[in-house]
Every structure is written in structure tokens, then in C-alpha cells.
A and B are shown apart, each in its own frame.
Chain A
Amino acid sequence: MSLELKEQYEKVYAFCYFKVHNVLVAEDITQETFLKYFETTQYLEKGKKLAFLYTIARNCCIDYFRKNKHTEILDDLSELTVEQSEDSITVIAVRSAVSKLSSKEQEIVLLRYTNELGIGEIAEYLDISRFALYRKLNEIKRKLKQNLRKEDFYG
């Protein structure tokens, strides 16, 4: 296959997790994403594969929220704080700074810095130009630096 399944699985899972904030639900949506992705082999021959994969993941997350809008979603984001970093204060500070960004900006941060997607790939997924994405990234950088208090992060 053209995409590295194991690697992409983790990345799509990370993407879904930050949409739904629940490990089991995120993993279910990840698996559903891949099943739908592999159903459409004709597109895979020539399409923008990663953008396609992430679009499916996003749509699956939207479907999930539509179906469960009256159900209380268990948020297990707290699992993140336990083992992720030795310096928990820094982690909390960074996460707090990220949470102050808009959901679109948070998505870009996740795609760019956690999933390490290329500029071109993110631009394809968001359906914007690379130049526009660079502008957004600079804006995010500025906001993050503003949000991160000097004593917490750079101190």
C-alpha cells in the first residue's frame, strides 16, 4: 500500500482523539476511517491520499457528534497528563495555550507538530494555499507565544 498503515493509524488516531477526547471512541472512528479509505481504491490510484484520509476522519468525527448529540460524551483527556512529560507544569502551560486557540488553529497545530504532516499535505487537507497556511502558522506561533507566560515556559 502507498501509505504506511501502522504509522498513519497512530496519526489518524491522534487526530480523532483530539476531536472526540475519548480513547475508545477515537479508536473506533480511526478504524472506521481506514475501512472507508480502503473501500475507495479508485481514488487512491491518483488522489491526494493523506488529505483524503484526514477528510474521512473528520467526517467520521462529525457523524459521531451528530449521532450522539444528546448523549453525554465521556471526556478522558485527563489521561494525557499522567505520563506524557516529566515537566507537567510545562505540559499544562502548553496545553492551556493551545486550548486558547480556535478549533481550526488547534487542528493545524496537531497536524503540523504532532502528526508532522508537510505544509503541502496540510494545505491540501484544508483546501487552502501553502502561502495561506504559512500565514496561519505564523499567526498561531504569535498567539502561542502570547499565551505562554514567560515564567511557565521560557523561564
Chain B
Amino acid sequence: MDRKLKQELKQSLTPPPTRHKAEFINSISYPKARFREVLFSQIGFIRKRVWLFYVLATCFAYFYTTVVKVPANIVAVVSSILPLFSLCIITEIYRSTAYNMAETELACKYNLQKITLMRLGILGTASFVMLILLVIIAGKNDLGVFRNSVYIGVPYLLSSYLSLEIISRFRSKETIYVCMAVCCAVSVFMMIANNLYQFIYSVQFITLWVGTFMVLMALTLFSFNQFIKSQEELQWSLL
């Protein structure tokens, strides 16, 4: 059907304006969105490129550790990739703060603090699954699950902690580029460390690794807490 006819059909069948629409809409009580609905709606707000990156990064790690025969540096490869995962998460939560997007609408029922937590919960769950997968992939060496987890966890926590600190302290739109640089720096550092300082993955340094892991975990949790609290100052979250 040609466009002109479609337009004319639409115009000629459009009824006169309503008279009591606003009154009715303001007075009607309709079922409000439930927590579960809001939680799942957050999956749609997370950009497709983030999910794509998750899949590609895992495929790359899997390919590198299984097809390419370099079992010696499996941990280094995986731990170099992980800062990019944390970068992905940071870009997502940074968007909310920088652009005050559609969650302001959702914040009518759930404030931005809760919305951010929901989104981080989704991404955190996805990351956790990916981490387990990567630990399994990296577990093909003889280091054991514990040591693999610690070696993989440290760069991830380091990049997460630094990025959280950056976005909490600086709120300009360019902050994300600083986070990107930091995450890439951690990633490159892990690759260099693997080539030049291979000995740090030996048994005698495991205490240092575990200590670093614990400290970084505490710092990340602290920063995360600070970041979530900082969202309380937003005007619509006070409602």
C-alpha cells in the first residue's frame, strides 16, 4: 500500500480528541512494576557490546589456552584479559552517573542506588560465571584451582578498585577514558610481568599474592560502598 494512502487512512480514521484522559490516567490504580520485572528490565539497559565483549573475551581465552599450545602462560593470558572485563562493568555504571539516563524514570519506585546495585548484580553474576569458566580453562596447568583463582583475581580486583576510585573522585565525561587507560595498563602489566618476571608465579610468592588479593578485595568493597553511597546525594534518590 502506498505511503499516501496509508497516511490518509490514518488521518481519516483518527477520532476527535479525548476529553477525560488525564483525569482517568491520574486516578486509575494499575499494577506497578515488581522488583523482578525491574531487575530483568536492567538486562535490556546493559549494552549489547558488553555482552558481546564477554563472549568474545571468553572465546579468545578458550582458544588461546586450548588450541594454541602455550600452557605455561595460561594464567597470565587470562589475568591480562580480566581487567578488560572490569572495564566493561565500569563503563556500564559510569553511564548512569554521567548521563542520568532512563533509570531516573525507574527511580520513581527504585532509586538510582538500587538500580545501580541491580545492574551490578547482573553484571557481577555474569562476571562470576565467566571467572569460574576462566579458572576452569586456566586450571589445565598444574597450579591448582586456589592459586589460579588468586592469580586471576588480583588483576581483576586491581583494575576494578582503581576504576571505582577514579569514577568516585572525578565526575567529568572524560573519566571513562582514564578508566580505560588504567585497565589497559593493568592488562599490559600482567602480560609484561609474565614475560619478564615469571618467578612471581612461583610457590614462594603465593603468600604475597594472597595478601594482595585480600587487601584488594577489601579496598574494592570499600570503594564500591563509597560509590553506592555517593549516589544518595542525587536529588531524585532522596525522594
A residues lining the B interface (CB < 8 Å): 1, 5-6, 9-10, 13-14, 17-18, 23-24, 26-27, 30-31, 34-35, 38, 41, 44, 76, 79-80, 84-85, 90-91, 94-95, 98, 109-110, 113-114, 116, 141, 144-145, 148, 153
Asked if B21 is an interface residue, CB under 8 A from chain A, the answer is yes
Q: Which single residue of chain B is at the shortest CB-CB distance from A86?
A: B11
Known: A14-B15, A23-B16. A1 touches B32 (CB 8 A): yes
Besides A26-B15, A94-B9, 11 other CB < 8 A contacts?
A1-B30, A23-B15, A24-B19, A31-B24, A38-B29, A44-B31, A76-B16, A80-B14, A95-B13, A98-B13, A148-B5
Set of chain A residues within 8 Å of B9, measured between Cβ atoms: 94, 98, 109, 113-114, 144
- CB atoms of A27 and B20 under 8 A apart: yes
Q: Which single residue of chain B is at the shortest CB-CB distance from A30?
A: B18
Return 16 A-B CB contacts under 8 Å, by A number. A1-B31, A5-B28, A23-B15, A23-B18, A30-B18, A31-B24, A38-B31, A80-B12, A85-B11, A91-B8, A94-B9, A94-B12, A109-B13, A114-B9, A114-B10, A116-B10
Set of chain A residues within 8 Å of B25, measured between Cβ atoms: 5-6, 9
- CB atoms of B12 and A85 under 8 A apart: yes
Q: Complex formed: what's the CA distance from A84 to B16 in Å? A: 8
B residues lining the A interface (CB < 8 Å): 1, 4-6, 8-16, 18-21, 24-25, 28-33
Q: Is the interface of B mostly helix, strand, loop or mixed?
A: loop
- CB atoms of B5 and A153 under 8 A apart: yes
Which of B8, B24, B30 is most buried by chain A, counting CB atoms within 10 A of its CB? B8
- CB atoms of B19 and A27 under 8 A apart: yes
Q: What is the minimal beta-carbon distance from A64 to any residue of chain B, in angstroms?
A: 16
Q: Complex formed: what's the CA distance from A88 to B143 in Å? A: 82
Q: Which single residue of chain B is at the shortest CB-CB distance from A31?
A: B24
Known: A44-B31, A94-B12. A13 touches B19 (CB 8 A): no
Q: What is the minimal beta-carbon distance from A92 to any residue of chain B, in angstroms?
A: 8
